[in-house]
Amino acid sequence: MRILNIHGTNDLRLDPRDPPVAGAEDVVVRIRACGICGSDLSYVKWGGMNPHNDGGIVPIGHEAAGEVIAVGADVKGAHIGQRVVINPMNTPSFIGSGGPEGAFSDAVLVRHARIGDSLLPIDESLPYDVAALTEPLAVALHGVNRSEAKPGDKVVVFGCGPIGLGMILWLIDRGVTDLIAIDLSDERLERAKAMGAATLINAGKENVRDRIRALHGTHDYYGMAVADTDIYLDAAGGPTILDDVVQLSKYHARLIVTAAYTRPGMLDLVRMLLSELSITTAMGYPTEMNDVLAALPRLKDKAAPMISHRFGFDDVLQGFAVAATPQSAKVMIEFAEENL
């Protein structure tokens, strides 16, 4: 068998490994599809889980779907051949995020496995690649849930990578129609359009503040032309986004940040005091994985365009190179049955 490991800064290798063995409380899952996450790219850049990594070999991969191939004697509800998605946040080792297991492997050990918690059965109608979108779609859904968006709201989504695209999917699904998608990449903007975003802004070619005001309308507030936008969702983490939102915000507008900022930022607190702008963050998916899996059979054809590239496990390093380009959205690594 093989597993993808980080050996140091920008040092990613496909290494041989022994097959995992299930203990009494464990399950082994044959991986059939695993998406490349933006956090995976950061881990490779840092040489580990954070910019101050102490070194050592680090397995990665956490957006995984597959089938159960071994079940420990004490695990209830699991059976050989069961199709599942892994919830890495509910695994004791946080699979792919610093523990001894990573899902870019032919098979992964899920320790202390619990059906309905760390392992979620998937509908027979779901292809494995779409099922592997569950994790990023859950991140996106958590951000949308935190926004409390509803039909009639005017919403801006910054960033049309996988999380931003997922947000667009969920916003449209809950009836939000006045939606602006913003990115620097025309390719990603076209993908946002395919996901249902009718209004697009290329932040590298247009003045973002002016375009938002023109598209969503304005009104006068303390002598300022504020945008009529209700909700801003930041899935990009760009250097000007927070200030743009603060300066645009109307009274009681809301900003939800899902992007991972690596540096502290300054905010105009005087301007925020006038608007009473609410800023909150959204990380992970405390309750959303099951909701995504319940909706995916209905939304699978709408979710599939999130996948921009597919590579076999043999070409996983090429997949990572593509995932680091602005032309990509979700890069999916697929595993052939004969790998085991």
Q: Can you spell out the DSSP letters for 280-339?
A: EE--S-TTHHHHHHHHHHHHHHHHGGGEEEEEEGGGHHHHHHHHTSTT-SEEEEE--GGG
Instruction: Please tell me whether residue 274 adopts helix, strand or coil conformation.
Output: helix
| Residue-level pLDDT at 258 | 97
* Residues 6+ away with beta carbon under 8 Å from 75: 24, 25, 26, 27, 113, 114, 115
pLDDT of residue 56: 82
CATH number of 2-135+285-339: 3.90.180.10
pLDDT digits (tens, 9 = 90+) for 35-86: 999 999 999 999 988 776 666 899 999 999 999 999 999 999 999 999 999 9
Counting residues of the chain whose pLDDT is more than 90, the rounded percentage is 91
Flag the least confident range among 91-95, 206-210, 243-247. Answer: 91-95
Residue 73 burial class via C-beta count within 10 angstroms: exposed 0-12, middle 13-18, buried 19 and up: exposed
What pLDDT, on a 0 to 100 scale, did the predictor assign at position 266? 86
Can you tell me the mean pLDDT for 162-189? 96
How does pLDDT run across 213-228, given as a tens digit for each residue? 999 999 999 999 999 9
Element holding 192 (H helix, E strand): helix 186-195
Domain spans of the chain, in order of start: 2-135+285-339, 137-281
On the question of pLDDT at 282 being above 80, the answer is: yes
Is 137-281 in CATH node 3.40.50.720? yes
For the stretch 291-304, pLDDT in tens is: 999 999 999 999 99
